[in-house]
Amino acid sequence: MASRISQADRSNARKTGLIFFPAFDWAISPNHPEREERLLYTRDQIFEEGLMDLPEIEEHKPRLASEKDVARVHFCVPNVKSQVTEAHLIAAGSTLVLSDALMAGKIRNGFALVRPPGHHSMRVVHGNRGFCNINNMAIMVEYLRRKHGLRRIAIVDTDVHHGDGTQDIFWHDPDVLFISFHQDGRTLYPGSGFVEEMGGPNALGRTLNVPLPPGTTDEGIHYVLENLVMPVLDEFGADLVLNSAGQDNHYTDPLANMRFSAQGYARLNEILKPAIAVLEGGYAIESALPYVNMGIIQAMAGLDYSHVIEPDYVKGRFQQTREMNLAIEATVGRLQDIWESRENLVAIAREEYGQFYRTRKRIFYDTDMINESQMETVRLCDECPGYNTVATEAARGYGKLESAYCISIPIHACKSCKEDAHEEFEEHRLELKYDYVNLQDKPADVYKSYNTRTRTEKRY
Ligand SMILES: [Zn+2]
Ligand SMILES: [Zn+2]
C-alpha cells in the first residue's frame, strides 16, 4: 500500500507527538469525576519536569474533527450536532492530528491527552454513556482507513472499564482486532466484557476480552500482555497498534479496585509500543494521573522512566493471591484457545446462521438515563464482512425519544452488499416506521440521514 509508511520512515521520525486538551468548558456537572481538573495536574507535572523542552517530545495543536468524521463511525440520533459540543470535536480531532503526523513520518508515536473520553460510545448515539458521547478511538480508526488507506488495525484498551463502545463499533469487522482488559464486569461498570463476547459471526476471535479480578497488580497485567496480547498482535499483523489508555487501573483510582502503578503502566506501554495512545478514563486526578501519564510519555519517547514513582508508592505492597494468579492464567488460556480456533468458529457460525444473523440488544445510558433497544442484523456474506443494519428506539423514563433505521456498508463491501444496502435504504425511506433512516456508505464516504417526518435528507 503506497500510503503506508515504512519502518525506516518511522524510525527516522524520532519525536513523540503530544496533544493536550483539557476541555475547560465542558463537564457533565461541576462535581462529576470526569471534569477538567483531570488533566491540570498532569499538565503542571509535565511542564515542571521540563518534558516539553526535550528534543524527543513535540507538542501538537488540536483541530476540530468534522461532523463527517463523526458520521463515518456513529449514527447520531437525531444528528451529529445534537450529540456533540466543540469540546468533543476537538478531543476527536486531536487524534486525527496525530494520525496525520504519524502517517507523514513526522512523529514516531503520539499520545492524545484529551477529554471528554470516548470508549463507551457505541455505533448508535442517543446520548452520553459512561461519560462518553462520541468514540475518539473509533473516529481515528475510520479516519486512518479512509484518509491513509490502512486496513488492519489493532486496538488495545487498557482502561479499567470494559471498552464496550469500541467493541460494539467493530464487533462485525474482521479487520479490526479489539482487545480489552479490565476489571471483571461482575464487579464494575458497564457490566460487560466477558470472555464469551468474542465478535460477530463473521469476526469471531477479533474481539478478545480479558476480565481481571479486582486487586490485579502490575504482575497480572504484564502476564496478560506477554502471554496473550503480544503473541496475538504478532499473528494478527496490524498496520498499526493503537491504545485506548485509561489510567483508572491505578491503585488510588476512586471508581475502581485495581492495583496498577505508574511504573506498571509505563512498562505496559514500553512492551505494547502503540503508535498512538488516546486517553480514556482515570479519575485519581492528583495521586495517579500525573504519574501514570508521565510514565507513559517517557516510555513512548524512549526515555528512562524509572524515577516516575507516586509519593505513597511502596514496592511489594500489592500482591496477588494464588487464586487470582490461577484465575488470570485460566482466562488467558481460554482466550488463547478462542484466538487459535477463530477461523473454525467463523465457519461453524456461518453454517448455523445462514445468510443473516439477527440479535436484540438493550443499551442503558447511565449518564443520560436513556434506555435503548436495538435489533441488529448482519449479512454473513462470502465476499466481504457484510452490510449490517440497526433498528433503534430509545426512551427516557416514559418519554419516547427518536427511532432510527441505520444501514452501514463496510469500506471493503462487495458489490452485492452495496446494492442490497442501498435498496434497503430506499425501502425504509418510503415507509414511515422510523423517524430517521440513516445510511453509512463507507466505500463512497457518504453519510446520509433522512427525516421521514419532514422528508428532508442531510448529507455528511
Ligand atoms: Zn474507565
Ligand atoms: Zn458482501
User: Hey, what CATH topology would domain 7-342 get?
Assistant: Arginase; Chain A (3.40.800)
Spacing, Cα 76 to ligand 2 middle (Å):
25
Q: Which ligand minimizes its atom distance to the CA of 256?
A: 1
The residue among 180, 215, 167, 400 whose CA lies nearest residue 319 is: 215
As a whole number, mean pLDDT of residues 327-347 equals 98
Q: Are strands 456-459 and 388-396 parallel, antiparallel or unpaired?
A: unpaired
Catalytic residue among 74, 88, 120, 250: 120
The domain locations on the chain are 7-342, 355-459
The tens digit of pLDDT for each residue in 377-423 reads 999 999 999 999 999 999 998 888 899 999 999 999 999 999 999 99
36-40, 50-54, 296-300, 396-400 — most confident range: 296-300
Q: Which ligand minimizes its atom distance to the CA of 202?
A: 2
pTM of structure: 0.95
Distance from C-alpha of 424 to C-alpha of 72, rounded to nearest angstrom: 19
pLDDT given at position 34:
85
Beta strands in 1-84 (DSSP E): 16-21, 57-59, 75-76
Q: Which ligand minimizes its atom distance to the CA of 254?
A: 1
pLDDT given at position 204:
98
Spacing, Cα 158 to ligand 1 middle (Å):
9
CB 162: neighbour CB atoms within 10 A? 29
- Known active-site residue 120: yes
Q: Which ligand minimizes its atom distance to the CA of 165?
A: 1
HSE (CB half, 13 Å, CA atoms) of 335?
31
As a whole number, mean pLDDT of residues 24-49 equals 85
Spacing, Cα 200 to ligand 2 middle (Å):
15
Spacing, Cα 73 to ligand 2 middle (Å):
19
Spacing, Cα 407 to ligand 1 middle (Å):
30
**Stated length of the chain:** 460
Spacing, Cα 225 to ligand 1 middle (Å):
19
Spacing, Cα 157 to ligand 1 middle (Å):
10
Helix (H, G, I), strand (E, B) or coil at 305: coil
HSE (CB half, 13 Å, CA atoms) of 313?
21
Protein residues within 5 Å, CB atom, of ion ligand 1: 159, 161, 246, 248, 281
